[in-house]
Amino acid sequence: MSERRKCNNILLDTALRDFYAAADDMHLDEGLISMLSYPERRLDVSVPVEMEDGSVRVFHGHRVQHSTALGPSKGGIRYALDVSGQECEGLAMLMTWKCSLAGIPYGGGKGGICCDPTSMTRKEKERMSRTFGARIAPIIGRWSDVPAPDMYTGGQEMVWIMDTICKMLGHFEPAMLTGKPVDYWGARGRTEATGRGAATCGLELMKKKGLDPEKMRVSVHGFGNVGSYTAKILRDAGCTIVAISDTTGTYYNPKGINIDKAFEYAEVEPDKRGRKLTGFEKEGCEKLGVDEALFVDCDFLFPCAVQAVINQDTANKVKAKYILEGANSPTTPEGEEILNDAGVIVVPDFLANAGGVIGSYFEWAQNLQGFSWTEEEYNKRLVDLMTDNFCKVWEYSQEHNKTMRRSAYIAAIKRVADILALRGVYL
């Protein structure tokens, strides 16, 4: 057996443990296991920024390319205090499996800056984004590495980074980044894509289990871009959303939450309160602790916020029978073992939240063509692909009596491993 990596970062450790378990189950060649245990490239950069008070602060940035076996690496750029090189390695590995499972021509990448964007002015964030873009420019490009928004970044940050790199190149290259504003080479439907994909997986699971959406109670942990649209699309399909949450708390109503009002409320003065649900209990909800959305009485749970919230200490408090991971790695291996023993079905992150990268692929394809699709065409393609991917994993799991996560890993790893074996070691 090849030497197995060990690390202190919980996200990378979880990604590696899941990978090794699936690879051993597949009897994957030890050389391929070793190759896929490490990223192809990791770029760590310093990001000096002149602050509004005239001082200069240096932030730490990272860009990781885990694999380019299937195509250019793809993955978001996040701004958060817990960003690290190892975290980006773990997320990049997950992106490799996500892109492979989705059947799109991408490898996995990820990046970010260790900072507190909520305490920075718009001008400070612009300076930081542009400097970071300049520092990672040597490895970014439409056929090498295609970043996108992630935690605390959006279309504006992508425009700043793209504009900087294009000026350095001396020509315009819109396909180098995705998640751009619709009016500036973005794609109609991209904003809702991750939530639409997660909701699609949930509705397909209901079909497979013979469940009526109108009788299903759903809890959504996290009301950011992913969770909010997941809740809205499931509500539109007839589900009752009994709980939503953000960093201000969980808002619970067993009779159902008015999601339209939650959207309206969260959008009020977003620059001042950060698109928060502060005070939403006034809309007929009981306010609970931030993570209580994970434990309320419901049928389906969508953890769409942060990693490792369902773990060995919390998994036995989950009442839902079906979990669909809208966030990256919200469930630890120890937590999932408890859920499996309890008969809970878990649809893993790199299947359930793949709508975002599939939507980015659609934007990239449009940019390369210089041609825009309609939103209806975009959404139909997204739903069709997410449905096909879910059914493929579901059928394998049922046929081979394996969990959805193990089945998804095997399918994803096999595609990458086959191409690596075909191409050889000298990539």
- Is residue 32 within 8 A of residue 417, CB to CB? The reply is yes
Residue bearing tokens 């400070």 = 124
How many angstroms separate the Cα of 395 from the Cα of each of 117, 208, 389, 399?
43, 10, 10, 6
**Most distant pair of Cα atoms in the chain: their distance:** 63
Query: Cα–Cα distances in Å, from 180 out to 64, 101, 146, 261?
Result: 21, 24, 12, 27
Which two three-digit tokens encode residue 92? 């990049």
What whole-number distance in Å separates Cα of residue 142 and Cα of residue 361? 11
Query: For residue 3, what are the contacts with CB-CB under 8 A and spacing of at least 6?
Result: 34
| Helix residue ranges per DSSP H, 243-348 | 259-267, 270-273, 333-341
- With tokens 């602060």, the residue in question is 57
Return all residues near 121 (Cβ < 8 A) that are at least 6 apart. 52
The one-letter amino acid code at 151 reads: M
Sheet-wide strand order for 73-80 = 41-50, 56-65, 107-114, 73-80, 145-149
CA 65 to chain centre: 16
Helix, strand, or coil here: 119? helix
Place of tokens 């990223």: 39
Catalytic status, residue 110: yes
d(CA 287, CA 246): 11
What is the residue type of 170? G
Length of the chain: 427
Smallest CA-to-CA distance from 413 within 51, 26, 15, 134 is with 26
CA–CA distance, 320 with 108 (Å, rounded to integer): 31
Q: In the beta sheet, which residues pair with residue 219? A: 243, 301
Which residue out of 6, 74, 98, 110 is catalytically annotated?
Answer: 110
Of 46, 55, 43, nearest to 124 by C-alpha is 55
Name the nearest CA neighbour of 131 among 232, 208, 60.
60
Catalytic positions, written as ranges: 110
